[in-house]
Chains A and B, each alone.
Chain A
Amino acid sequence: MIGQPSQLCALLDTLCPMHVMVDPTGHIRHAGPTLIKVLGGAPVRGRRFFEMFELLRPTMPCTMVALRAASGQRLHLRLRDGSRSEMKGVLMPLPDGPDGALVVNLSFGLSVVAAVSRYDLTNADFAATDLTVEMLYLVEAKSAAMDASRKLNLRLQGAKIAAEEQAFTDTLTGLHNRRALEPVLTRLIEAGEDFALMHLDLDHFKQVNDTLGHAAGDHVLEVVAAILREETRKGDTIIRAGGDEFVLIFAPLIKAGNLNDIAARLIRRLEQPIAFRDQICRISASLGSTLSHDYPDPAIERMMEDADCALYAAKEAGRGRHLAFTPDLRPRAPSDRAAARQRA
């Protein structure tokens, strides 16, 4: 048996500090201490339940008969005050009640994190068995752990980008190295973008290296890299493929005629004497190029071979010039190609 009404209220205040007891007339008879705090501390006794709470689910008329019928069901409510805080609830009729009063127990559900700040709730506002405080602890602890993980991820990401850049960069000239070739071409081909592929070999570079030394050679390569950068557009790719071999990728595509102009300008600038200490270095360049739109299905290897083929034809024809690839340049047998390489 439950004793005096005041004893019942004290019991409920401890076990369910967010409960509200509603008279059969729909007026509030008693509310738990936490709920009173949430409602702003104003007296709630005697106010109508449906004036303070809007029942969102289940959908039903705002009558005590309908409310009683929802006993034991999950309720979804909203405060009608300025906060419009949403709450979960469950109600049961008061046992042995001569008058048929209801007890509605409430909680904040997932909005509890916001509610705790809004109403300045403390440990003491929750029942000792309520896991809300543990949940708040977990939310705070996990967001701290998540922040630490995010920082670590950002740092690793930065290190990865730096390592990749290093892996794709030629340390002497700062240009891309051979490893960058395939990813760049693959991306262009997959995107279906038209582009021009140009191979460039320095002429007479070996003489510079042999007669003036490696320091002079390195200096020449740096000057060459600067010229290549100046004579190409921002989006074009310049790769130092090996010793004195360079690959230029022009994307978006330049007209074949323009490509010839660019090649001529490159050769003209590369042929200008380069001073190194008190010496003068003279080089030139041979170039071969091919255009992706000349291929029904552009493939990296094939285009590289054809650009190479045009390059060796340019060398054959006397160096210091540019040739665009045409099918008749293709060597008849592999041995021709090897011979051409040797002569170059």
Chain B
Amino acid sequence: MHGLINRAIEMFVRDTYGRKAWVALAVRCDLGSTEFEAMLTYDDAITPALLRGLAREQDKPVETLLEDIGTYLVSHPSAERVRRLLRFSGDDFTEFLRSLDDLPARARLAVPDLILPRLELREHNLQNFSLKVCHGADIPPVFGHVLVGLLRAMADDYGALVLLDHKGGSGGTEVICVNLLESAFAKGRSFALGQVPR
């Protein structure tokens, strides 16, 4: 698994539950280090083990934690860079949804060895969308839950009001229903193209 993904989980645990909780989890999962390198690749078994360990320790379902991670990636100040990169995709939430097909290509453009599942958006009408996440049968259906958290936070970021529903998965795909109730519900957070953080 790409180090960026493990590093994201690490930062989520550090920022949400504190350094102590992270170190305890790293020891329990026998990582051999308490810090992931974003630019290295790790054994695929590490990531699910981390998530299982975290679910046990926080007494929460893995799906809930995955959603929390997705939200964290957009809304937490230490992940500001991720939010900015996502905001480049469109000026409003609808544009953002329509750009999701490009998300894996965008990720690869930035980090060539970061492989994300293929995304297919279907537009039923201006309010109702469904997003298919295709990751292949051999990969557990987890990315969809991260995406639900991420979409919810992005809707907030754009000031849109949405209802999201993870419809479960089968045969290497997951489906998320997006119901856009109002695209300009709140003011949203500001975003300027040329305002590079730090």
Contact = CB atoms under 8 A, between A and B. Distances in A.
Interface in B114-148: none
A256 interface: no
B193 interface: yes
Given A122-B193, A123-B90, A137 B39 contact: no
The winner among A133, A144, A155 for most chain B CB atoms within 10 A is A144
Interface of A: 113-118, 120-124, 133-134, 136-138, 140-145, 148-149, 152, 155
A37 B194 CA distance: 15
10 contacts: A120-B192, A122-B192, A124-B91, A136-B88, A137-B88, A138-B110, A140-B84, A140-B196, A141-B106, A143-B196
A138 B109 contact: yes
Contacts of B195: 117
Contacts of A140: 81, 84-85, 88, 196
The winner among A120, A140, A149 for most chain B CB atoms within 10 A is A140
A149 B39 contact: yes
B110 A136 contact: no
Contact of A136 (B38, B106, B194): B194
A136 B193 CA distance: 7
Nearest to B193: A116
Interface residues of B, number: 20
Contacts of A141: 85, 106, 109-111
Nearest to A136: B193
A79 B39 CA distance: 42
Nearest to A139: B196
Given A113-B194, A137-B88, A144 B81 contact: yes
B165 interface: no
Given A123-B91, A136-B88, A144 B193 contact: no
The winner among B81, B85, B196 for most chain A CB atoms within 10 A is B196
Contact of B37 (A121, A123, A152): A152
Nearest to A142: B110
A148 B193 contact: no
A133 B102 CA distance: 14
Contacts of A117: 192, 194-195
Contacts of A143: 196
A114 B110 CA distance: 21
Interface string B73-105: 000000001001100101100000000000000
The winner among B81, B90, B91, B193 for most chain A CB atoms within 10 A is B193
A148 B81 CA distance: 12
A121 B111 contact: no
The winner among B39, B88, B194, B196 for most chain A CB atoms within 10 A is B194
Contact of B85 (A118, A137, A148): A137
Nearest to B35: A155
A122 B193 CA distance: 6
Contacts of B110: 137-138, 141-142, 144-145
Contact of A148 (B39, B106, B196): B39
Nearest to B88: A137
Contacts of B91: 122-124
B138 to A, nearest CB: 27
A133 B85 CA distance: 11
B186 interface: no
B184 interface: no
B31 interface: no
B49 interface: no
Given A123-B90, A124-B91, A149-B39, A116 B85 contact: no
B22 to A, nearest CB: 18
B40 interface: yes
Nearest to B90: A123
A120 B91 CA distance: 14
Nearest to A148: B38
Given A121-B193, A136-B88, 9 more contacts: A114-B194, A122-B193, A137-B106, A138-B109, A138-B110, A140-B88, A141-B109, A144-B110, A145-B111
Nearest to A120: B192
A313 B4 CA distance: 65
Contact of B39 (A113, A115, A122, A152): A152
A118 B192 CA distance: 11
Interface in B157-181: none
A137 B86 CA distance: 9
Contacts of B37: 152, 155
Nearest to B195: A117
B111 to A, nearest CB: 6
Nearest to A132: B193
Given A133-B88, A137-B85, A144-B81, A116 B39 contact: no
Contacts of A116: 193-194
Contacts of A134: 88
A231 B85 CA distance: 61
Contact of A152 (B40, B88, B90): B40
A149 B195 CA distance: 22
